[in-house]
């Protein structure tokens, strides 16, 4: 029996996608082979990666002057690749430090130049998005980095900073495909696939063409870490994560069939409202984030007692609601309710919480 999986990542995938993948596992189309066994240079595979890219472009309305790259190494490798490729003119970039991932991106960039923290919410365990003071922005920064949705702490930017001509770079690992996003506001977007797009092992980068630098032949930047290598070769400089890209294609077909990102947003807002409304009225459970910065994707909550938290997580697991334990740095619980979590799963979780409250408050 399948459970309701509230994991922050790798995370739940749409059941329709898994069934379709299962039906094609032994033989893809008329090819006589599994996608996993296929040459990435074959006609069949070229059609798969081509469809994945064009569907992503269509679903996200990605402008023509942006490249879509299918890479490996996770969002964590982008913490280094972004500065290696973009922090080159003034060797300086601005960072808003809103959580553990944003901190990692900020610290990694320090290896390559001057990383400036223009605002942080560390003082309150990253439970809010700090107000940004434009006077603190560096006017000579090569780029400005944010983490759009903070997976661990359950916050998100509900409006984007105005960085003028300075390219805005965003880690969108846990919010990509959850609602429409104006790609043209960004210089670069990156995301590990395992939250809202597919299995782990695939990383998607969307980069404005003019930001892809040329490197000299004797540059010390490794070939695989240059965006140009992947952009010049259609993400086929070496073997791409072929199966992950195939699953992404199925996920995108699923998103499109439901009405695309506007429909996802509507559904995700409904799911999040169910949970936040319950939390705001509960006598036992409490959300750790308040106000407009609340994430639609990751909802951390607590009872105030470590013992009751543990009891709830245990009872929930026994009832088929898994991976509700909060991140070790926050404690309590966290429900990640990505696109593939059905609204039914959230409604039933709320029922379970309500029952637990009745028995324990």
Ligand X SMILES: *Cc1c(COP(=O)(O)O)cnc(C)c1O
Least distance (Å) between residue 249 CB and ligand X: 19
Helix axes 242-257, 43-60, angle to 10 degrees: 40
Selected from 85, 121, 155, 174, the binder of ligand X by CB under 6 A is 174
**171 is a contact residue toward ligand X (CB under 6 A):** yes
CA 6 from chain centre, in angstroms, equals: 15
Residues contacting residue 216 through CB under 8 Å, at least 6 positions apart: none
Short-list 218, 105, 115, 99, CA closest to 153? 99
User: Among the candidate windows 44-52, 72-80, 130-138, 275-283, which touches ligand X by CB under 6 A?
Assistant: 72-80
**151 is a contact residue toward ligand X (CB under 6 A):** yes
User: Among the candidate windows 22-30, 58-66, 134-142, 168-176, which touches ligand X by CB under 6 A?
Assistant: 168-176
Q: Of 38 and 147, which has the nearer Cβ to ligand X?
A: 147
Q: Of 173 and 235, which has the nearer Cβ to ligand X?
A: 173
* Cβ–Cβ under 8 Å, residues 227 and 233: no
Bridge partners (DSSP) of residue 70 are 204
Selected from 66, 101, 278, 321, the binder of ligand X by CB under 6 A is 101
Residues contacting residue 45 through CB under 8 Å, at least 6 positions apart: 35, 38, 39, 242
Least distance (Å) between residue 196 CB and ligand X: 10
As a whole number of angstroms, the distance between CA 65 and CA 152 comes to 33
**103 is a contact residue toward ligand X (CB under 6 A):** no
Least distance (Å) between residue 309 CB and ligand X: 22
**9 is a contact residue toward ligand X (CB under 6 A):** yes
Least distance (Å) between residue 189 CB and ligand X: 12
CB environment 311-343: b (16+ within 10 A), e (fewer):
ebbeebeebebbbbbbbeebbbbbbbbbbbbbe
As a whole number of angstroms, the distance between CA 208 and CA 285 comes to 44
- Report residue 70: phi and psi, to 5°: -105, 105
Size of interface with ligand X, in residues (CB under 6 A): 12
Q: Of 194 and 229, which has the nearer Cβ to ligand X?
A: 194
**334 is a contact residue toward ligand X (CB under 6 A):** no
**201 is a contact residue toward ligand X (CB under 6 A):** no
Q: Of 106 and 356, which has the nearer Cβ to ligand X?
A: 106
* Cβ–Cβ under 8 Å, residues 151 and 9: yes
Q: Give, as ranges, the residues between 175 and 194 that touch ligand X (CB under 6 A).
A: 192
Least distance (Å) between residue 154 CB and ligand X: 11
**147 is a contact residue toward ligand X (CB under 6 A):** yes
As a whole number of angstroms, the distance between CA 102 and CA 96 comes to 7
What is the set of active-site residues? 101, 171, 195
**195 is a contact residue toward ligand X (CB under 6 A):** yes
Binding site for ligand X (CB under 6 A): 9, 74-76, 101, 147, 151, 171, 173-174, 192, 195
């Amino acid at each position: 029996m399948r459970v309701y999986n509230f994991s922050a990542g790798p995370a739940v995938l749409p059941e329709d996608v898994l069934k379709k993948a299962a039906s094609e596992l032994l033989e893809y189309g008329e090819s006589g082979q599994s996608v996993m066994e296929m040459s990435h240079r074959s006609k069949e595979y070229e059609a798969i990666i081509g469809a994945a890219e064009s569907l992503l472009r269509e679903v996200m309305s990605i402008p023509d002057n942006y490249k879509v790259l299918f890479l490996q190494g996770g969002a964590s490798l982008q913490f280094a690749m972004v500065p290696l490729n973009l922090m080159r003119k003034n060797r300086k970039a601005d960072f808003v430090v809103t959580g553990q991932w944003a901190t990692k991106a900020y610290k990694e960039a320090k290896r390559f130049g001057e990383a400036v923290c223009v605002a942080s919410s560390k003082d309150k365990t990253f439970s809010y998005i700090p107000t940004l003071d434009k006077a603190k922005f560096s006017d000579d920064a090569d780029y400005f980095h944010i983490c759009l949705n903070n997976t661990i702490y359950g916050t998100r930017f509900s409006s984007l900073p105005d960085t003028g001509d300075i390219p805005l770079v965003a880690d969108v690992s846990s919010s990509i495909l959850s609602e429409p996003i104006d790609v043209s506001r960004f210089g670069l977007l990156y995301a590990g696939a395992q939250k809202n797009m597919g299995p782990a092992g695939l990383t998607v980068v969307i980069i404005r063409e003019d930001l892809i630098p040329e490197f000299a032949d004797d540059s010390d930047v490794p070939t695989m870490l240059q965006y140009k290598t992947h952009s010049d070769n259609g993400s086929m400089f070496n073997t791409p994560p072929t199966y992950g890209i195939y699953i992404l294609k199925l996920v995108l077909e699923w998103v499109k069939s439901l009405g695309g990102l506007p429909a996802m947003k509507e559904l995700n807002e409904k799911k999040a409202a169910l949970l936040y409304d319950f939390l705001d009225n509960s006598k036992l459970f409490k959300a750790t984030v308040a106000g407009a910065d609340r994430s639609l994707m990751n909802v951390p909550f607590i009872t105030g007692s470590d013992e009751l938290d543990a009891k709830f997580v245990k009872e929930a697991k026994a009832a088929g609601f898994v991976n509700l334990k909060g991140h070790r740095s926050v404690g309590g619980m966290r429900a990640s309710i990505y696109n593939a979590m059905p609204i039914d799963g959230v409604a039933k979780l709320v029922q379970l919480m309500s029952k637990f409250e009745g028995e324990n408050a």
